[in-house]
Amino acid sequence: MAGVVLETLGNKKLSILIISLLLVLAAFFLVGGLVSPAPNNVIATTAINCVDSEKLWPLGTSQPFLPRGKKKCSSIGDLHKDKVIIDEELGPNQIVFSQMIPLVRDNTQLSMSRWFQNLIGVVDLDIEFSSKNPYSEEKSPKMVLDARLYGRFKHETDDDWKLIAAAQEQRTLECAIENDNREEGASYNCDLLPLFELGSVYYDFYLINICLPVRERNIYNVNIGRLSELKVIFIHQNGGFTKVWFSMKTVMFPMVLAALCWFWNRVISQERSTNLTERTLFSLGIILSVMNCPVEWLTLAFNLPFMVLLNDIRDGAFYAMLLSFWIIFVGEHMLDQIERNKLSAYWKHLTVVLLACLSLLIFEMCERGRQLVNPFFSIWSSEVGSVAAFTFIIVASIAACVYFLFLCYLVFKVFRNISTKRSSLLHMSTFRRKYYSGLIFRFKFLMIVTLLCAALTVIFFILGQVSEGEWKWGDEDINIEYTSAFLTGVYGMWNVYVMALLALYAPSHKHFTTGDDDNSDTLSQEEEVQLTQVPSTSASEGSNLASFMAKTAAD
């Protein structure tokens, strides 16, 4: 009987295949650790205090305030010492905080690169205690940021700044005094405030203008203490990491696609209908190919701010398919599974997985979908939104851990059932006993690899959620660093794992089973007849081990 490649491939060839895949996986980790730089780069800046002496700042006005250059704005160094400009006392509504990136280095004006892919901005406030304007500690004060974001190219002048977005956004200020010190000028520790998020870095230079208008009647930007400095922190993807990431996707996309076509050609060449494992594995390969498709190269030529959202959707679809595949893959090898080769048998498990992934999609659409229209929008800006987002991330992380534990339980149940049925091997001939013992060993090894892959996937997902806390929760003590080796390694693990399954679970063309090596004798005619007498639960059964499990379960 044919079976799958995992069951018919000789030990020598199987060892070569496994070692080759492990070397490829090691290469992914080494490329990330030795070749690629850190995934993200942080630019910490202190905004220039520009003076809007002509009061040009209403929201509808698009004239930018430049921190440097030929049209540099009039500025003051200290907000609380230089009170008078042109014999006129300044109010807080006439201060525009301005900063342009990238900064000047060694008297050379650097420029942004489209390899940076995305740009995130957060605000860090330096607030001091003031008896004249005390910080409201009983209730977190509301802060309104009147912000504008501009961009221009290298060949353009300071008259050519293009307004990318303008908005008046509300943020909740959370600050705590150091050592409960209430002396004049004592510093507060304040949470970072999300400012904007761009899904592409299309321009060579970016300019941010921020005004904190005081409105006594509307009760915002009051009772916030004395603001001494406003810092803007910019985070973007490292260009060197992007090049490595794009290169890996470009290489893996045709490889996985070729393996997928080879696998499906093997499946349809069989004179039987396809089984559930084959269909699910084929679907997983399709989703992985979609995720691998290097459409990000288009961002080097076009302004595609939706690319971050598109990548999140592709990643979410892969998560959903991978989690569903593991449930089906393990379930189809249950000895005591009455209904096999039917998708309806797994509707409860798949419904939970799909609902969880759907909630992730809704969460992404609520934030990044809105940011396509307004980059300054943040779901973390309000108390309700912040609590909802924080709760969602915690629940998603707990759900990922519960899923992994449930998968471990299913694998343990499979192993336990196999152990209870091994007694049936004692009544077989020596050759058949060795044959099925080998199948069981190979299957157990594959299950252990599956659990390892699932564990790393869950860790990858949780770290991806928690790492947002450094900038969006405003807790600077949270400093989870995504090393390039881990990112590229997990990505490589997914590709190697799926390619290995496509190769090992493809229908075999061999109608015999080898022994210890490729030169061993094939089954005798009597043994071949005995093996072909193992019944299958359906006409589409492709695995000899699954047939054996079904037979022992029925007995």
CA-CA-CA-CA torsion sign (446, 492, 308, 470): positive
Tell me, what's the pLDDT at 127? 87
* 169 contact partners, CB below 8 Å, separation of at least 6: 144, 145, 147, 376, 377, 378, 381
* 291 contact partners, CB below 8 Å, separation of at least 6: 314, 315, 317, 318
CATH topology of domain 5-39+240-554: Rhopdopsin 7-helix transmembrane proteins (1.20.1070)
Hey, what amino acid is at 19? I
pLDDT tens across the length of the chain (555 residues): 457 788 787 888 888 988 998 999 999 999 988 888 888 888 999 999 988 877 766 655 668 899 988 888 888 877 766 544 444 466 777 889 999 999 888 888 889 999 999 999 999 998 888 877 788 777 778 888 889 999 999 998 888 999 999 988 888 888 888 777 777 778 888 888 889 999 999 999 999 999 888 765 656 777 788 888 899 999 999 999 999 999 999 999 999 999 999 999 988 888 778 888 889 999 999 999 999 999 999 999 999 999 999 999 999 899 999 999 999 888 877 655 556 678 888 888 888 888 888 888 888 888 888 889 899 998 877 777 778 878 888 888 888 899 999 999 988 888 887 777 666 666 666 666 666 677 777 888 888 999 999 999 988 888 877 665 555 555 554 444 567 888 999 999 999 999 999 998 888 776 544 444 444 444 444 444 444 444 444 444 555 555 555 555 444
Among residues 146, 220, 144, 129, the alpha carbon closest in space to that of 180 is found at: 129
Structure-token pair, residue 526? 């009597």
Cβ atoms of 84 and 109 within 8 Å: the answer is no
Among residues 277, 278, 550, the alpha carbon closest in space to that of 418 is found at: 550
User: Where in the chain is CATH 1.20.1070?
Assistant: 5-39+240-554
pTM of the shown model? 0.83
User: In 422-483, which ranges are continuous DSSP H helix?
Assistant: 430-466
Q: How far is CA 273 from CA 270, 277, 504, 512, 537, in A?
A: 8, 12, 19, 21, 13
- Beta bridge partners, 95, equal 51
Tell me, what's the pLDDT at 533? 42
Tell me, what's the pLDDT at 534? 42
Gap between the terminal Cα atoms of the chain: 21
- d(CA 499, CA 233) in angstroms, rounded, equals 41
69: left (phi over 0), alpha (psi -120 to 50) or beta: left
Query: Is the bond preceding residue 102 a cis peptide, omega within 30 degrees?
Result: yes
- d(CA 232, CA 247) in angstroms, rounded, equals 32
- d(CA 175, CA 142) in angstroms, rounded, equals 12
Tell me, what's the pLDDT at 551? 55
Cβ atoms of 227 and 127 within 8 Å: the answer is yes
Tell me, what's the pLDDT at 499? 93
Q: Interhelix angle for 307-331 vs 383-421, to 10°?
A: 30
- d(CA 485, CA 25) in angstroms, rounded, equals 11
Tell me, what's the pLDDT at 80? 67
Cβ atoms of 79 and 97 within 8 Å: the answer is no
- Beta bridge partners, 208, equal 99, 149
Q: Give me the count of residues in the chain.
A: 555
